[in-house]
Amino acid sequence: MSKISGGQQGPTAPQTETSPKTTPKESPAQAEQAPKPTGPHQHSEVEQQQQVQARKELWKLDAKAVHSGPKTEAEVEHAVQEQLAGAHLDEDDSARFKRELMQAGVSAHGGVSQSLGQGPATAKAKLGPGKHAYGTTATAKLTPKLDPKQIDTAAKLAKKHTELDTKLKKLYPNGVTFKPPFKPPTSAAAAHAKNALLHLPKQAGAEGDHIVNLNGKKTMVTLRAEDKTVKGTRGAAVSVEIVGTKVPKLDPALVKPGVAKKKLETEFGVKIQTSPKAFSDEQLAKIYMGFKKLSPDEAKALQGVTLKRVDSLSKNRAAEFKWDEQPSGTPPSAGVTSEKSISFTDKAFAADDTRFVGGKNNATFPSVRTVLHEAGHAIETHKRRTTLGARIKAEADYENAVPAYKSAFGSWLTAAKKQKGAQLKPVLRFHRATLNAQKKLEALRKASPSQVTSRKAALDAALTKRDAALAALKKAGAPVHTKAKALATHQSTAAGAAHRVATSKAAEKASRAKKTRGTLVNAQNKPVMKSKRLARFDAYVKRHGVKPFTNYAASFHAKGGEEFYAEAYSLYKTDPKWMEKNSPKLFQYFKSGQHMKE
């Protein structure tokens, strides 16, 4: 039977199989005309009638497998096999399963694939008067040092200030303010600061954290440039805050060969790919610094994630989180193929010498924020991808259990029809109990989330009755007990799988939004339901009028909130004071743990 998996068509109606022929076989009419037993163990007339009736009921019970009652022995045999095939996905079930998985993110030709990451921006973030977007533009290298010979006398220094002020006036017509102010404003230190400012990128309406060369010393400065297009601002003005000289540094112990790699693998359960391109110890140390900012619950999203270093990524991204859940194989070896990875290019670490993230006493590398951006994607999708993978796995387990169950049923039935005399009554009892359990099993597998508990209880009760019938069959010394026991074992396996199908389906449905769609697509590039975690974030942002505060988030916000979620998460972790000032509602959202709720 076909299986929903990559490159294959969806399920088709199960094929019927015919049990091995047995000789001799009885029809219901023959059962009624069976000769009366003779000898010392002959039965009374009443007992003989009971046996005949039991055999007739067994045949009639089998005949219920199809709507039109079969009349010949061959038709009954075929009908029983049709009934047994019902334990597998019938046409209606297949269509339903296919439709549900399509909504969940699985197409007829595969599962969900999503790639998310940081890359070039195509839109501009605007937060309004008194607030500044978070700037990410960096210089290629440290700003050049002002030549000391140009300011080694008072006259030269005054001349240099006039030259620098003229250039700055063109860039920022409404002036430049230094915080704290230089005293005197025409000092050599002020000249160095003005020279550095001329070499920094201008981002109107944004706040940028840079590392500059002030008189030969690396110094952190924050630029806050007004946007003349925003009402209520001075426009084309900039303030420069001298933050300090505690620039980000790596722990020497962490960059020793293999140390960061081992810590990442043991503390976070990630896998680190070494080919075709290996990470440097410094790069792994920065990734570790990012992951250490996660709470224990957040860190669960990183379990099993593979870290990759690559030359380039699509859309010119610096880094990318990707996850993929796909059905694989066919029964009895069906399963699920899962992928979850974070890929980094060298661009992810390129700004670490010229920018910083955070404040005076907690400054860190920009690459750490990139790491946390990708971790944010892993956190947002965590429940969505794990529940989807579990559902596909449960469906595969059920399909894998069916062939053995089907074979055991056929063997049991062949042997049961040969029974005569006193064995017929316990045989019929077990047969009825098994069919009833199968009915409850199928009902549970198809259960809606609200029906799982009651239908599981009904199945448990049916299995208890079946086991009681099995015990009675053994007590009666029926030769078919071995076949019955094997059937019960395989049915119980299928029942367990059916329960996992029902519970995993309920969990998967609970992890996704009902109607909203994001950038998530299936293997056919069709949009599917986004995570409930993301839907909550989007609703909160919309309800409180929160605007994207980086150009990158603004570029993708109209298509779905995945990038805004990741950008906000990374900034909350690396620069919470900035977020509290410029986006207080979103600061409270993350501080209160709302980002982890479904």
Give residue-wise pLDDT tens across range 429-450.
Answer: 998 899 999 999 999 999 999 9
Task: Say which residue, 120 or 530, is predicted with more confidence.
Answer: 530
| Contact assessment for residue 532 and residue 418, using Cβ atoms and an 8 Å cutoff | no
| Candidate from 3-17, 79-93, 100-114, 557-571 with smallest mean pLDDT | 3-17
Phi/psi for 240 (5° steps) reads: -120, 115
> Residue 53 has what pLDDT?
54
Q: What percent of the chain has pLDDT over 70?
A: 71
Q: Say how far apart CA 249 and CA 363 lie, in whole Å.
A: 9
Residue appearing with tokens 């669960």 = 300
The answer on pLDDT for 195 being more than 60 is yes
Section 345-353 average pLDDT? 92
Q: Which of 431, 544, 500 is nearest to 61 (CA)?
A: 431
Report pLDDT for 598. 83
Average pLDDT, the chain: 77
Question: How far is Cα 224 from Cα 266, in angstroms, rounded to an integer?
Answer: 41
**Residue 8, pLDDT score:** 27
Range ranked top by mean pLDDT from 12-16, 29-33, 150-154, 462-466: 462-466
Lowest mean pLDDT among 101-110, 335-344, 345-354: 101-110
CA distance 459 to 466: 10
Is residue 453 predicted with pLDDT exceeding 90?
yes
User: Tell me, what's the pLDDT at 48?
Assistant: 53
**pLDDT tens digits, 197-230:** 888 776 666 778 888 888 788 999 888 776 554 4
**275 or 232, greater pLDDT:** 275
pLDDT (average), residues 282-308: 97
What lies within 8 Å, CB to CB, of 143 at 6+ separation is 195, 196, 199, 200, 210, 212, 213, 354
- pLDDT at site 413: 84
Return the pLDDT at 440: 95
| Residue partners of 267: CB distance under 8 A and separation at least 6 | 291
| Tens digit of each residue's pLDDT (9 = 90 or more) over 460-473 | 999 999 999 999 99
pLDDT at 31: 39
> What average pLDDT does this structure show over 416-435?
84
- CB neighbour list of residue 423: distance below 8 Å, 6 or more residues apart: 476, 477, 478, 479, 480
Task: Quote the CA–CA distance of 61 and 422 in Å, as a whole number.
Answer: 19
Asked if pLDDT for residue 46 goes beyond 60, the answer is no
Element (H, E) at 559: none
More confident of the two residues 507 and 232: 507
Local confidence band at 102 (pLDDT 50, 70, 90 cut-offs)? very low
H-helix segments, 135-235: 154-171, 188-198
Q: How confident is the model at residue 136 (pLDDT cuts 50, 70, 90)?
A: low
pLDDT surpassing 90 at residue 175 = no
User: What is the average per-residue pLDDT within 282-306?
Assistant: 97
Q: What is the pLDDT of residue 472?
A: 93
CA distances in angstroms from 289 to 101, 302, 357, 591, listed in the order given: 38, 14, 13, 20
Average pLDDT over residues 67-91: 40
Residue of 216, 209, 214 lying closest to 365 (CA atoms): 209
CB 304 within 8 A of CB 340: yes
Q: Average pLDDT of 468-480? A: 90
Decide if 388 contacts 104 (C-beta within 8 A). Answer: yes
Other beta carbons less than 10 A from residue 259's beta carbon: 16
Q: What is the pLDDT of residue 309?
A: 96
Give the per-residue pLDDT at 226: 65
Residue 353 has pLDDT above 70, yes or no: yes
- Phi-psi region at 364: left, alpha or beta (left = phi > 0; alpha = psi -120 to 50): beta
**pLDDT over 90 for what percent of the chain?**
38
Cα angle, residue 528 at apex, residues 522 and 529 outer, rounded to 5°: 140
Residue 15 has pLDDT above 50, yes or no: no
Q: Do residues 51 and 45 lie in contact, with contact meaning Cβ atoms separated by under 8 Å?
A: no
Q: 341 versus 117: which is more confidently predicted?
A: 341
3-class secondary structure, 81: helix
Contacts of 262 (CB under 8 A, 6+ apart): none
Per-residue pLDDT at 28 exceeds 50: no
**Burial of 56 per CB tally in 10 Å (0-12, 13-18, 19+):** middle
Q: Which amino acid is at 16?
A: T
Helix, strand, or coil here: 562? helix
Instruction: Indicate whether 20 pLDDT > 60.
Output: no
Asked if residue 91 has pLDDT above 50, the reply is no
Q: Which carries the bigger pLDDT value, residue 184 or residue 458? A: 458
